[in-house]
Amino acid sequence: MKLFPRLFLAHLLAVLVALGALLLVAELTLPGVYQHHVDQMVRAMGEPGRALRPDLEAGMRGALTGALLLALPFAALAAALSALLTSRRVVRSVALLGQGSRDLAGGAYARRLPEGGRDELTDLARNFNRLAAALERVEQDRVALIGEVGHELRTPLAALRGYSEALSDGVLPPAQVAPAVAREVRVLERLAQDLSLVSRAEAGSVDLQIEATPVQALLDAARERFADVYAARGVTLRVGGSGAWVQADPERAGQVLANLLHNAARHTPPGGTVTLEAVPAGSVVALTVRDTGCGIAPAHLERIFERFYRVDEARTRGEGSGVGLTVARALAQRMSGSLSAASCGEGSTFTFTLPRAAAGLTRRPAGQVNPMQ
């Protein structure tokens, strides 16, 4: 059955129930109301009045019943109009929602529904539009990711093809080609690993070993790991100290710091300085990496955390996969921390925060015992 007949029957049933209830109440209450007036008329008319008493009562009941019956067609008409208006509004909204759903299923993620009104149907249209916008963003990200991955794969694959042709033509000896091929293969492996990690980190499926960790241990490990790298580039690495403790996965926190120090080393000219220090700030500890490089323009500060986004597209792509900062921010957020960037024109500052912890207090989440490599 269509919506209009169902609404009309429901409205008509409500009208009939209301009229029946009104008639019942009138029969039970009105005799007491007009009884006094009938008695006065009977006394005033004497004996003839007593003979008219049944007719007076029957007339009043008949008038009441006739009035209610006369109102029934008008009530049915009002019910029909109400059902018609309601059904048209609902059917129109459902039809738009149905068509919009079919468009979404067909890939038309730009489809939106009108949001005029303040009722539940408007809320439904608004939620549909939010869903469509979310799906549109996901589709845009998917298309962009495919293009970006293809772009990142193009360089090492072109190099491998060149080496393969040179080897086949005898232009280069195998001993000279082998190291170059191995290098390009490592680039591909790094890209595959980083893509896998960033997807799982953004989805919140990276296993972590969260425990109370001394900040000084993180700083010392970073200094030891990057001392030779910075010395080879002619950049001074300064590492501060801290007696604070944080709740973190030591391996993943070290991975975030490693990414920040790698970036700082690449963008700091010889003779420059990179400073790594930890500053307790309320309930968190802020680990900052400051460099004396060229800085980052304000328009790029947030976008540098996007996958494959590069401030300088002309920069050599062999230095990283382009998702390092994306992975670093995702890992920081998974450890209930944050990662942000700031720049005032000269140099950049990356701030990595982690929640503070009591010294020696260890917490290992159940079921998370195998950190991803």
- The answer, yes or no, to whether residue 4 has pLDDT greater than 70, is no
Among 153, 182, 202, residue at a domain's last position = 202
Among 202, 220, 253, residue at a domain's last position = 202
Q: Tell me what pLDDT residue 134 has.
A: 87
Place of tokens 């009591």: 358
Confidence of residue 138 (pLDDT cuts 50, 70, 90): confident
Same domain, 216 and 194: no
Does a structural domain hold residue 134?
yes
Same domain, 273 and 156: no
Report the run of H or E that residue 316 belongs to, with start and end.
Answer: none
Does a structural domain hold residue 190?
yes
Q: Tell me what pLDDT residue 369 has.
A: 33
Among 105, 140, 172, residue at a domain's last position = 105
How far is C-alpha 188 from the geometric centre of its chain's CA atoms?
31
Does a structural domain hold residue 163?
yes
Same domain, 177 and 70: no
Does a structural domain hold residue 373?
no
- pLDDT one-digit tens code per residue, 88-112: 667 777 778 888 888 888 888 888 8
Same domain, 332 and 313: yes
Same domain, 310 and 215: yes
Pick the residue with more confidence: 170 or 315?
A: 170
Does a structural domain hold residue 276?
yes
Q: Tell me what pLDDT residue 186 has.
A: 84
Q: Tell me what pLDDT residue 276 has.
A: 96
Range of the domain at 71: 3-105
- The answer, yes or no, to whether residue 67 has pLDDT greater than 50, is yes
Q: Tell me what pLDDT residue 27 has.
A: 66
pTM for this structure? 0.57
Dist. CA 223–CA 237, nearest whole Å: 8
Least confident segment among 49-53, 129-133, 137-141, 247-251? 49-53
Going by the DSSP 8-state scheme, the letter that residue 213 receives in this structure is: E
Strand pairing class (245-248; 284-291): unpaired
How far is C-alpha 270 from the geometric centre of its chain's CA atoms?
42
Same domain, 228 and 313: yes
Distances in Å between the alpha carbon of 275 and those of 86, 199, 222, 298? 68, 30, 11, 22
Same domain, 281 and 318: yes
Dist. CA 111–CA 348, nearest whole Å: 41
Same domain, 26 and 157: no
Residue 243 belongs to domain with CATH number: 3.30.565.10
Average pLDDT over residues 322-327: 80
Does a structural domain hold residue 269?
yes
Phi, psi of 211 (to 5 degrees): -155, 160
Dist. CA 139–CA 143, nearest whole Å: 6
- The answer, yes or no, to whether residue 274 has pLDDT greater than 80, is yes
Average pLDDT over residues 289-295: 90
Q: Tell me what pLDDT residue 73 has.
A: 78
Same domain, 95 and 130: no
Q: Which of 73-87, 201-215, 236-250, 307-321 has the highest mean pLDDT?
A: 236-250
Does a structural domain hold residue 361?
no
Q: Tell me what pLDDT residue 370 has.
A: 35
Does a structural domain hold residue 114?
no
- The answer, yes or no, to whether residue 311 has pLDDT greater than 90, is no
Q: Tell me what pLDDT residue 353 has.
A: 96
Pick the residue with more confidence: 243 or 322?
A: 243
Nearest CA-CA partner of 347 in 279, 297, 304: 297
Place of tokens 């960033």: 198
Q: Which residues make Cβ contacts (< 8 Å) with residue 182, sequence separation at least 6?
A: none
Average pLDDT over residues 61-75: 73
Residue 164 belongs to domain with CATH number: 1.10.287.130
Same domain, 54 and 135: no
What's the mean pLDDT when you consider all of the chain? 79
Pick the residue with more confidence: 336 or 369?
A: 336
Same domain, 187 and 265: no
DSSP string for 76-128 = HHHHHHHHHHHHHHHHHHHHHHHHHHHHHHTT-TT------SSSHHHHHHHHH
Contact 58, 40 (CB under 8 A): no
Q: Tell me what pLDDT residue 250 has.
A: 93
Average pLDDT over residues 47-57: 65
Average pLDDT over residues 134-161: 81
How far is C-alpha 264 from the geometric centre of its chain's CA atoms?
31
Same domain, 17 and 141: no
